[in-house]
Amino acid sequence: MSFKFSSNYSSNFLPVIILISTILISACAQSHSGSQLPSANELKTFPPVILWAWERQENLEFLDSNKYGVAFLAQTLTLQNDEVAARPRFQALKVNTRTTLVAVTRIESSKITGKSASLGDAQKDEIVRLIVKTSLMKNISAIQIDFDASVSEREFYRRLLADVREKLPSEMPLSITALASFCLGDRWFQDLPVDEAIPMIFRMGADNQKIKGFLANGNDFTEPLCRQSYGIAIDEPISIKFKTSRRIYLFSNRAWTTGDIEKIASLSSE
């Protein structure tokens, strides 16, 4: 996820605010009581909006934990030859103790590095070990993997996901990010051992207008795994017909502020 962010985003952000405020209003009647963290074995109990916190300092202690969770970059794994180079998160992340936390592992291979990876069993086993290790971090409610697997890497990714699922606690949800095109009839997603695949409806390159137009006309993703959530960026205009029952994952290319959340809250209260 390497994106260009415009500092002047007020007009672009408005449609996103309207969408999120609608989701938050819909969720009010069924919000958490506030006495405990959401049950980790059911994604449906998670907050309706999840903020992605990438590699930068973030202070999100101000978030209402009934409405917002945080999916933070826990580590980046770079594959080259037979090696797995692990880079842990270096930037501080501050959240209140009640916040639902999702530990995200970013995997980078030849598509990003331009260098080949063996994709053998030893490399897979090391990736699995490192991903499962993030589930032991404090207050983790789910695991997420961000890997833009190429066609030649799909079978490797499928085996990796199967092993991660097997080694995680049975009650720990496992989610993945997904190119939006994968959610529109790409059969390799069928039967993946994950609880959700988050369609990334931003920075879609050549597919951008085609996919947004498809969704704006009232169509939906054909892959069931992609029908639980949306991944969107706060700086990119969007006017598709969202299902307000689905969770929103929000990406920003700069640190989140109280102002971002206040914009949503002020519109929600109108």
DSSP assigned state of 81 = B
Local structure of 11: helix, strand or coil: helix
The pLDDT, as a whole number, for residue 9 is 46
The pLDDT, as a whole number, for residue 132 is 98
Please list the residues that pair with 176 across neighbouring strands.
Answer: 145, 197
Could you tell me which residues come within 8 angstroms of residue 103 by beta carbon, excluding any fewer than 6 positions away? Answer: 72, 74, 134, 135, 137, 140, 142, 143, 144
**Backbone φ, ψ for residue 50 (5° rounding):** -115, 125
The pLDDT, as a whole number, for residue 32 is 46
For the entire predicted model, the pTM comes to 0.85
Could you tell me which residues come within 8 angstroms of residue 83 by beta carbon, excluding any fewer than 6 positions away? Answer: 123
Contact 159, 149 (CB under 8 A): no
The pLDDT, as a whole number, for residue 206 is 78
* Spatial separation of the C-alpha atoms in residues 158 and 263, rounded to whole Å: 40
What are the pLDDT digits (tens) for 93-118? 999 999 999 999 999 997 777 778 99
Amino acid at position 196, single letter: E
Contact 176, 104 (CB under 8 A): no
**Residue-by-residue pLDDT tens, the chain, 270 positions:** 222 333 344 455 555 665 666 666 555 544 444 434 433 346 878 999 999 999 999 999 999 999 999 999 999 999 999 999 999 999 999 999 999 999 999 999 977 777 789 999 999 999 999 999 999 999 999 999 999 998 999 999 999 999 999 999 989 999 999 988 889 877 888 889 999 999 998 877 777 888 888 888 888 999 999 999 999 888 877 777 778 788 999 998 889 999 888 776 654 444
The pLDDT, as a whole number, for residue 264 is 64
Q: Look up residue 125 and give its two tokens.
A: 């086993």
